[in-house]
Structures are given as C-alpha cells and as structure tokens.
Amino acid sequence: MKDKISQLLEHALNALKSEGILPEDLAATPAIDNTKDKAHGDFATNIALVSAKAARRNPRELAQLIVDRLPADKAVTQVEIAGPGFINFFISDASSFSVIGDILQKGDAFGKSNIGGGQHIQVEFVSANPTGPLHVGHGRGAAYGATVADLLAAIGYDVQREYYVNDAGRQMNILAASVWLRYLELEGERFTFPSNGYKGEYVLDIARQLQQDAGNRLRHSAETVFTDIPADAPQGGDKETHIDALIERCKKLLGADDYRLVFDLGLNAILDDIRDDLAGFGVHYQEWFSERTLENDVDAAIQLLQDKGCLYEKEGALWFRSTDFGDDKDRVVRRDNGETTYFASDIAYHRNKFERGFDRVINIWGADHHGYIPRVKAALQAMGIDPDRLDVRLVQFAILYRGGERVQMSTRSGSFVTLRELREEVGNDAARFFYVTRKAEQHMDFDLDLAKSESKDNPVYYIQYAHARICSIQRKLEEAGDVVSTEQLIGAVDALNLDEERDLAGLLARYPEVLAQSASQLEPHQLTHYLRELAGQFHTYYNAHKVLVEESAIRDARIALSYAVRQVLKNGLTLLGVSTPSEM
RNA sequence: GCGCCCGUAGCUCAGCUGGAUAGAGCAACGGCCUUCUAAGCCGUGGGUCGUAGGUUCGAGUCCUACCGGGCGCGCCA
C-alpha cells in the first residue's frame, strides 16, 4: 500500500517539476508513515514540509498543489491536508482487508522478501573460549546472533553462521593443565590446586574420562610436578607465572603426544557440550572455525602487513601501526618471545573471512570487547579491505533477577549460572524471546520469575496464547464438521467492517516492513514488540466479538482474519526461535 | 585522563533514524466468565524525555558542554 501511495506521489511531484514549481533536481523522496491517530487517516506523508523550501512556498500551499495533481485511485477514498502541511491518505476497506488473502495465500512465506538479493553475509557469534560450559552471558549473544541470522535469511541474504573456536590460546593450555592436575588428584596425588586453574565441576568430569582412557599411565608424583615451580598467589607469588610454569612442566612430563591427548580430550569434551547446548537452544551453525587451522594464515597476514609497510620493530617486538588507521595506539602482533599475539590471529581470521567471499561480515561481541573494534577495522583497511564491510554488534550483559534479588555470577570460581541451567529453569521459548526483547546494546534485566510465569505478564505466553486460541477456534470449527476452503475464506473478507478488524488488518499489513526493518537494522526487538502488539490486538478482538457466529458470511470473514493473524504470529515466532503451540 | 554505550511514567522498556497531543507492559485502583481457552478483556490515574545551550517550520530523536551509571584503555585471550 505504501508503494502504491508512493507511486501516486511520485506522479504528482513529477508533474510539479515539469510545471517548474519544484526544481528538477529535488532529491527528496516522499516518506510514507503509518499514522498514530486514526483521525489522520491510514497513511501520511511529510513531503510538502520537506520540500517547501525548495519550492519557495509555504508547506500547506505546496501540499494543496500536490494533492491537486494526485491521480485518482480506487484504494484511496480520501486525501486531506492537515496540521502544518501533512497529506493524509484514507484507504478503502476493500484495500485494507486485501492483506488477509495475501497472507493466507503466501502462508509461511508471507513477510519474506528479497531485499538482500542473495548477498553473502556471515554472522559470527558466541565464539566463547572452549574452556567451560556456556553461561547466561553467552546466552544473549546466542539468541541475538541466531535471530539476526534468521532475520537476514528471511529478507533474502545468503547467511552463513559461524562459531570461532579459540582452540589455540593460553587459556586452553590452562584448561589442559587443570584437567591433568585433577586427574592426578583422582590418582591419589595431594597438592594445592592452582588459584588460576579452572575449578569447575566439569573439569573433574573430564579428568575422570582421562583416567578411564589412560589409566595411571599419565601419573607423576606431586613432588615431581611441583618441584621448583614458582609460588602461587596465595603463597605470596604470582598466579600467572605459577600456572605458566605448571603448563610447561605438564608438557615436559607428558611429552608432546600425551599432552596433546589431554588437551584435545578437554577441548572436545567442552566443545561437544557447547554444541549440544546451542543445538538444544535452537542455535545452529554452518561452520565451527578452528583458530588452530589459521597458523599459516597468521604468517601470511603478518607478511602482507609487512609488505604494505605497516609494521615496525620496537623493543624486540613487531608492531602494527594501527594509529595510521584511526586506532588509539599501535598494537603488537609478534611478541619479543617470538609468539604471535591473539590480535595477529584475529587479523588473519578476518582476512580469511573476506577471502571466503562474504560481501558483509557481522561480528557479535560482548560489550566488554568494544575497545577492540578500531584495531580490527584498522587491520582490514591496512590490508586493503573496506572496513565498512565489517559490522561489529555489541551485546550487553544480562543481569539475572530471581525473587527480586540479583543473581550473582562469577566465572572462574565455577559458581556461575550456565545457559543450560537457565534453559532448564525458564524453558527455551522464554529464554530465546527474553534475550532479544531488548536492544542488544541496552543493559538488560532478566527476570527469571517473569520468564517462568504463565500469565499475560509474560509476553511469550501472551503471544503464544493468542496463537493457541486461534487454533482452538479451528478445532471448534472442525468438531462441528464444517470445512471451509482457503478460497472460500479469502472470498469472505468483504464482510469485515468492525473497527477492531480494521486495526488488525492494518497491523497485519505492517508485518513485512517490520520484518524488513528489524532484519536490516539487526534489531530483533522490533519484531518482538510488533508480535506483542498484534497478539494484544487479537485478544481485544476475540473478547469483544465472537468469531464462530451463526451467519456464515460473517463467520467465514472472521475466520479468515483470525487465520491470517495466526499465520503472522507463527511466522514471527518461528523467526525468533519460539515454538507455536496449538493448545496451552 | 581518553574512548565507546546508556539516561524516557514508581519499575522494565518502545519510540518506525527530524513530524501532528511522547507510547506499551508491570505495579495501584474499579469492572467483565450460563458465550469460540479468564494463560484473557475493558476502564482510571501516572511525564520538566538527566541538565543547560544550539541547529529549524518542527527535537525524546541531530550538534556542543556538563551531571550520573556501565564498560574498555596489556608484548592477556
């Protein structure tokens, strides 16, 4: 409908241009808004206000000139000039209700579009270090990333979902050492566990597995392990040098092969757990990209930057001159001990992404990584890749509340709330929905009690309930033995004439643009708010008017409208990863 | 100190990228089940959009400064 009005306006504007009233090069394209107030009609445009200056006329006068040149159209029943110069359009009922037939015909495809035009776009999200189970902070990134990816796919992008597995860093060595030390404890060795090691219960589980696989073959006495190891923090030493020394000792005592065995056992166990957790959350990936496979790419990327003259040596280390590309300070890519930095891996990784042919890349990061964006973009630019093709979205952490009290979390101590625990407590539907119901960059309070509640307070249930109610209407209809074909329903919509029905039809007609905007702005919350509104409007209608009335013409029309509402609720909820129960 | 994010009703948040009288939901109060699911609906009250300037026909939205909250500023990952 907006397109139709836009065409009419275009026609009028062109006429004014050829008459010399408006300049030929007028850039303004008419913006068509949905009106907030029904007294203003169904749609409104501010084009007369925007181009008044160029026409050197006052807005109302220009509006009148435009209206005089609007072609007649049977969908438009009335055009008014209002306020400072808005042009309001009133739409015919037949035109308003035609969306119902459109929805019933298109079904699951209603709302989808090809705005993306098949462009290749990658969404990389979660990418948590595989050093422990996912916690509730990762959950928000998972829900947001998965939803954004699905939204983009719905508007015609070719989307690839990727998890970057940090399987090469120091944290992984700490995990391997932690597993081995727990194993030694199981074997009967006694010592103080390093304060910087991973202490979660899951480490013990992996150690048990190790014991089963390897028996006592990997056992060394506590004395050999800890001799000459610098003191840990509680003993007045430094926790970092303590754990690093233990890692080195572990490698030395086990030898490369057995160390790798322990390392991979830990990595795979945790990765399996993460995969399983995310799959259970309805989050699926096309690619699990291993950092370890980047080894050659890192050297190549450093070489590339070297060739471009963007690197220099200082104090034994190799630096990237990122300040040339807008960063605050230069960054080390190779340390004085010869090892490349995490940043170097990331340079290589991002180059790799674009070499795989993605037109656009979206990274979803925790908000604490925001300071990292300028240097990654700087690296891309230095390598000749347009940094605007990378879009980094930050997700703020969610704070959990239970019984009005903040739920405390701390990762290292092992006392965190895992994503799995959250899913078990509130269910996947509520978790998926709640996580994306706020703007990603907004701090969020996650009320566990509300997510669990089965009442209208809980937006997930509220929306699902609207869906279930419509399914119930269908059951009633079928019980009565009445079968109505889709064609029959579509033909019946002329009988609609209530205000509530117009409101519903207006909302339904907005779905495609809500979806398009929600997707292209990477803001799933726009869709959740829309669905809440649609469900509410339906509940109002349902309470005020009976659908299954005696008079079959009206009955069929109302059924058609109800089914259309159900279809849009289903399409929206499905994109959000939320189920659509037919009974509740 | 520098950088990024945020500040809208008592609470949790929207506000369609500058439009008409700033909206929902909770919480408070009053109503609605012999009728397709009351997991629902209807009604009432509630605001100096952090503060002060600026840009213009028009600002919650844009620019500047300040106030308040969060995060980040490693040869960590």
Closest nucleotide to the alpha carbon of A474, via C1': B36
Structural domain contains residue A412: no
pLDDT recorded at residue A409: 65
Structural domain contains residue A414: no
Q: Are residues A352 and A259 in the same domain?
A: no
pLDDT recorded at residue A456: 73
The string of pLDDT tens digits covering residues A533-579 is: 999 999 999 999 999 998 989 999 999 999 999 999 999 999 999 99
Q: Are residues A294 and A266 in the same domain?
A: no
pLDDT band at A505 (very low <50, low <70, confident <90, very high): very high
- Angle, CA A505 vertex, CA A500 and CA A509 arms, to 5°: 150
Instruction: Classify burial at A60, counting beta carbons within 10 Å of its beta carbon; exposed 0-12, middle 13-18, buried 19 or more.
Output: middle
A565 CA to B41 C1' in angstroms comes to: 18
Q: Which of A280, A302, A334 is the last residue of a domain?
A: A280
Closest nucleotide to the alpha carbon of A372, via C1': B72
A529 CA to B37 C1' in angstroms comes to: 24
Nearest amino-acid residue to B27, taking CA and C1': A457
> In CATH, what number is assigned to the domain containing residue A515?
1.10.730.10
Nearest amino-acid residue to B33, taking CA and C1': A543
Closest nucleotide to the alpha carbon of A168, via C1': B77
Structural domain contains residue A435: no
**DSSP string over A27-89:** -PPPPEEE-SSGGG-SEEE-HHHHHHHHHTS-HHHHHHHHHHTPPP-TTEEEEEEETTTEEEE
Angle subtended by helix axes A552-575 and A459-479, to nearest 10: 140
Q: Are residues A465 and A559 in the same domain?
A: yes
A407 CA to B1 C1' in angstroms comes to: 34
Can you give the C-alpha Rg of chain A in angstroms?
Answer: 30
Closest nucleotide to the alpha carbon of A475, via C1': B36
Structural domain contains residue A580: no
Closest nucleotide to the alpha carbon of A547, via C1': B36
pLDDT recorded at residue A405: 77
Report how far residue A190's alpha carbon sits from residue A211's, in angstroms, rounded to the nearest whole number.
16
Nearest amino-acid residue to B70, taking CA and C1': A443
Q: Are residues A270 and A295 in the same domain?
A: no
The string of pLDDT tens digits covering residues A244-271 is: 999 999 999 999 999 999 999 999 999 9
Closest nucleotide to the alpha carbon of A446, via C1': B12
Q: Are residues A221 and A294 in the same domain?
A: no
Which structural domain range is residue A314 located in? Answer: 286-380
- Give chain B positions with protein CB within 7 A: 2-6, 12-17, 19-21, 23-27, 35-37, 39-42, 57, 70-77
Residues 6+ apart with CB under 8 A from A18: none
Give the phi and the psi of residue A190 in degrees, each rounded to 5.
-120, 125
Q: Which of A75, A91, A107 is the last residue of a domain?
A: A91
Structural domain contains residue A427: no
Q: Are residues A258 and A312 in the same domain?
A: no
pLDDT band at A328 (very low <50, low <70, confident <90, very high): confident
A350 CA to B29 C1' in angstroms comes to: 58
pLDDT band at A414 (very low <50, low <70, confident <90, very high): very low
pLDDT recorded at residue A323: 92
As for how many domains chain A has, the answer is 4
Say whether pLDDT at A429 is over 50.
Answer: yes
Q: Are residues A507 and A544 in the same domain?
A: yes
pLDDT recorded at residue A416: 58
Nearest amino-acid residue to B75, taking CA and C1': A335
For residues A131 and A416, is the Cβ–Cβ distance under 8 A? no
Report how far residue A111's alpha carbon sits from residue A113's, in angstroms, rounded to the nearest whole number.
6
Nearest amino-acid residue to B17, taking CA and C1': A521
The string of pLDDT tens digits covering residues A295-314 is: 899 999 999 999 999 999 99
Q: Are residues A306 and A264 in the same domain?
A: no
Closest nucleotide to the alpha carbon of A455, via C1': B39
Give the phi and the psi of residue A415 in degrees, each rounded to 5.
-100, 25
Structural domain contains residue A394: no
A232 CA to B62 C1' in angstroms comes to: 54
Q: Are residues A319 and A276 in the same domain?
A: no
Say whether pLDDT at A206 is over 50.
Answer: yes
For residues A493 and A117, is the Cβ–Cβ distance under 8 A? no
A376 CA to B29 C1' in angstroms comes to: 56
Closest nucleotide to the alpha carbon of A537, via C1': B41
Q: Are residues A263 and A354 in the same domain?
A: no
A76 CA to B20 C1' in angstroms comes to: 21
A25 CA to B19 C1' in angstroms comes to: 24
Q: Are residues A273 and A311 in the same domain?
A: no
Closest nucleotide to the alpha carbon of A40, via C1': B20
Instruction: Classify burial at A246, counting beta carbons within 10 Å of its beta carbon; exposed 0-12, middle 13-18, buried 19 or more.
Output: buried
- What are the tokens at A262? 């322990």
One-letter amino acid identity for A483?
Answer: V
The string of pLDDT tens digits covering residues A33-90 is: 888 888 888 899 988 888 887 787 888 888 999 999 999 888 999 999 888 889 999 9
> In CATH, what number is assigned to the domain containing residue A83?
3.30.1360.70
* ipTM, two decimals: 0.94
A380 CA to B56 C1' in angstroms comes to: 40
For residues A64 and A52, is the Cβ–Cβ distance under 8 A? no
A122 CA to B5 C1' in angstroms comes to: 24
For residues A270 and A202, is the Cβ–Cβ distance under 8 A? yes
Share the mean pLDDT of chain A: 91
A277 CA to B77 C1' in angstroms comes to: 23
For residues A534 and A568, is the Cβ–Cβ distance under 8 A? yes
Q: Are residues A274 and A322 in the same domain?
A: no
Say whether pLDDT at A339 is over 60.
Answer: yes
Q: Which of A280, A307, A328 is the last residue of a domain?
A: A280
Q: Collect contacts of A381-387 with beta carbons under 8 A, ≥24 apart.
A: A381/A325, A382/A305, A382/A308, A382/A310, A382/A320, A382/A322, A382/A324, A382/A325, A383/A301, A383/A304, A383/A305, A383/A308, A383/A347, A383/A351, A384/A308, A385/A350, A385/A351, A385/A354
Residues A86-102 have a mean pLDDT of 92
Nearest amino-acid residue to B23, taking CA and C1': A36
- Specify which residues A444 forms β-bridges with: A398
Structural domain contains residue A567: yes
The string of pLDDT tens digits covering residues A449-464 is: 888 887 777 889 999 9
Structural domain contains residue A353: yes
Closest nucleotide to the alpha carbon of A39, via C1': B20
Nearest amino-acid residue to B12, taking CA and C1': A445
Give the phi and the psi of residue A470 in degrees, each rounded to 5.
-70, -40
pLDDT recorded at residue A233: 85
